[in-house]
Amino acid sequence: MTAPHSLSRLDSAVVTSPGAVVQHRSRPWKRLLNEIGPFGVVGGVALLIDLGMFQVFYAVAGWGAVTSTGLSTLVSTTAAFVGHRYWSFSHRARTGVRREYLLFAVVNGATLLISLGVVAVVRYPLGQESAAVLTGAKFASIAIGTVLRFIAYKVWVFPPAEGRGETTRSIG
């Protein structure tokens, strides 16, 4: 009979300081799931902020559609950055807010161009004018962009800690 282990709830984790746990790479799928959940929540909240701010700027303040879109996108992108930096990827290496925000903006700009490209290809070379088909292309472009953003955030914007097979995350 084995004695109960006081850290069994931490699986293969090691407590390195009060409130910090070092997660070993033995459970990469578990870490991935712990990032995907917050990533989705932050993305959903950012979408609601974007739509809400657009309505405020366009419908309430009476600003132009393009100006309203640009400002609502800037506000929601900044909110998404804060959410991802301090929640979704909070356990990853810190490389500086300016660097991370700049890369975050570049990644979001690139995925926006991809989204525009997908819709443009469906509309013009393929000649589709149906709102249903174009909406389907828009959803496909959102899915592609979401996957690309998640990967880019993990690899470039919020990289793993260098030289270690582990990451640090606070508990509680």
What confidence score (pLDDT) does residue 147 get?
Answer: 96
Helix (H, G, I), strand (E, B) or coil at 70: helix
Least reliable range by pLDDT among 22-26, 38-42, 51-55, 100-104: 22-26
- Predicted confidence band of residue 60 (pLDDT cuts 50, 70, 90): very high
User: Taking a C-beta distance cutoff of 8 angstroms, is the pair 119, 138 a contact?
Assistant: yes
What confidence score (pLDDT) does residue 33 get?
Answer: 86
- In angstroms, rounded to a whole number, what is the distance separating the alpha carbons of residues 160 and 92? 5
- Residues, the chain: 172
Amino acid identity, residue 81?
F
- In angstroms, rounded to a whole number, what is the distance separating the alpha carbons of residues 104 and 95? 12
**Which pTM value belongs to this model?**
0.72
| pLDDT higher at 9 or 55 | 55
Q: Residue 10 pLDDT > 70, yes or no?
A: no
- Predicted confidence band of residue 143 (pLDDT cuts 50, 70, 90): very high
Q: Residue 125 pLDDT > 70, yes or no?
A: yes
Q: Please write the tens of the pLDDT for every residue from 81-109.
A: 999 999 999 989 999 999 999 999 999 99
